[in-house]
Structure 1
């Protein structure tokens, strides 16, 4: 594990690395290929996009990447990105003057698309709900499922903003439980690497939420074993 004042680089295996920001309240994880695969275009997931030549995103999040998220002010973005820091940010980053990346992607990602990286092939799953163009990425040879902001632990998965869709998010959760061969789940926040048996809990959660008519905005936080959702 390599560590500096802000970024922690951890080897998941011999050819997979996570770059983590544990000093930020959202404990954001990025997973390294040189090509940028955008799970979704929220501010905390596109911070260094401008440093790379190849940026991919799902078509339904393309407008956010190009123009910013409609209705989200720069003042709110700066408040969110700069609050509750427990480590000193890099010298190049000032939360008070931070401006999110905006630009046209070099390519678009579609459901079922496969990306050949040479030693591995990644499969794209369109999993909307947290954002319209949210995706998950499955590395079949290793069994790693990168879930972005669809599934992680410790803090709630958000689906209460006007731009979110609780029903689509629950449908997306249901979908990832049906992916065969998952050996490890890597969400974009909090614990780095979750055991695949959390998908059994997701199956139960999906069933309970639907049966109790809770899959809609305003029903609050729903806590399950290992994760929670906020509608």
Structure 2
């Protein structure tokens, strides 16, 4: 049977765990230290990502959440130590911003380009809820032994959106802030101005060598950060940086406001 997850090695201790069989083309990332390992997001919840992680490491796992949207928290239920931004704690308890019915519509067979795992049961699917998560703050350092990851609050796509930067290796994990495709800032819980400010914030980081996005193409040029910032600045200069102005097409991405 065709495997649901695709494992791609970034280096010997860093892996992308991708779900190309759904239109979201979601990427989660495993960062292995010598004491613990970090899993950035847990994907769609279609396959068992914990099994994939356990093939790569037997260390204790800490889950870091870029933001509390359904396609990033699908398998949170399988892990014990989970961090989210406190601004999204209500979503984690009872006030998830999207009805479960709509989320399930996104997980119907029409959305798959390959067969999901046999154990996936849409009827049993539930959006993750918990009162036992921990909270991560802007500029907090997560140390897993021989590797340190810095959390960066980058709101806009969601109130508590986080990027994560490993300075030593130059890896920037950008979640839904930066990727090749359509960037979304039109939902009620998004904010185009904060989105633009967050792109500007990460554009000032020194030493970025690789962008590791949450969706679509895995290999993208670091120049895309400046390109996206210039695109937002252009929209702002035209006084259109507010919701309801539609989709703006640029070279290798779109911005939906």
Taking the TM superposition and a 5 Å limit, the aligned residue runs for 1:86-105 are 86-105=113-132
Q: Does 1:135 align with 2:162?
A: yes
Q: 1:105 to 1:56 in 2, by over 3 A?
A: farther
Supply the distance in 2 between the matched residues of 1:184 and 1:85 (Cα, whole angstroms): 29
Specify the SS of the correspondent of 1:182: coil
What is the match of residue 49 of structure 1?
76
Matched, 1:11 2:43: no
In 1, Cα distance between equivalents of 2:82 and 2:74:
12
Residue 204 of structure 1 corresponds to 230
2:214 equivalent in structure 1: 188
Choose which of 202, 214, 222 in structure 1 pairs with 2:248. Answer: 222
CA distance in 2, matches of 1:105, 1:226: 40
- What's the TM-score once normalised by structure 2's chain length? 0.84
Give the equivalent residue in structure 1 for 2:96: 69
Structure 1 stretches of 4+ moved >6 Å:
none
Deviation at 1:96, TM superposition (A): 4.1
Name the stretch that deviates more: 20-29 or 164-173: 164-173
Distance apart, 1:97 and its partner CA: 3.6
- 2:83 is paired with a residue whose SS is strand
Could you say what secondary structure the match of 2:231 adopts?
Answer: helix
**Partner Cα distance (1:169, 1:105) in 2:** 29
Deviates more, 1:94-103 or 1:6-15: 94-103
TM-superposed CA distance for 1:15, in Å, is 0.7
Residues 131-170 of structure 1: matches in 2 within 5 Å?
131-154=158-181, 156-170=182-196
Partner of 1:31: 29
CA distance in 2, matches of 1:4, 1:52: 25
Distance 2:13 2:64 in 1: 17
Deviation for aligned residue 1:62: 1.5
Structure 1: state its 5+ residue gaps: none
Distance 1:127 1:4 in 2: 36
Tell me the equivalent position of 2:198. Answer: 172
- Cα distance in 1 for residues equivalent to 2:199 and 2:107: 27
TM-score, normalization: structure 1? 0.93
Between the two proteins, the alignment pairs up a number of residues equal to: 227
Compared with structure 1, are the counterparts of its residues 106 and 84 closer, same or farther at alpha carbon in structure 2 (3 Å cutoff)? closer
CA drift of 1:159 comes to 1.1
Q: Pick one of 135, 154, 171 that aligns with 1:108.
A: 135
Mind listing any 5+ residue stretches in structure 2 that lack a counterpart? Answer: 31-37, 39-60
Question: Quick check: 1:78–1:97 contact (8 Å CA) kept in 2?
Answer: no
Does the 8 Å CA contact 1:7/1:20 hold for their aligned counterparts? Answer: yes
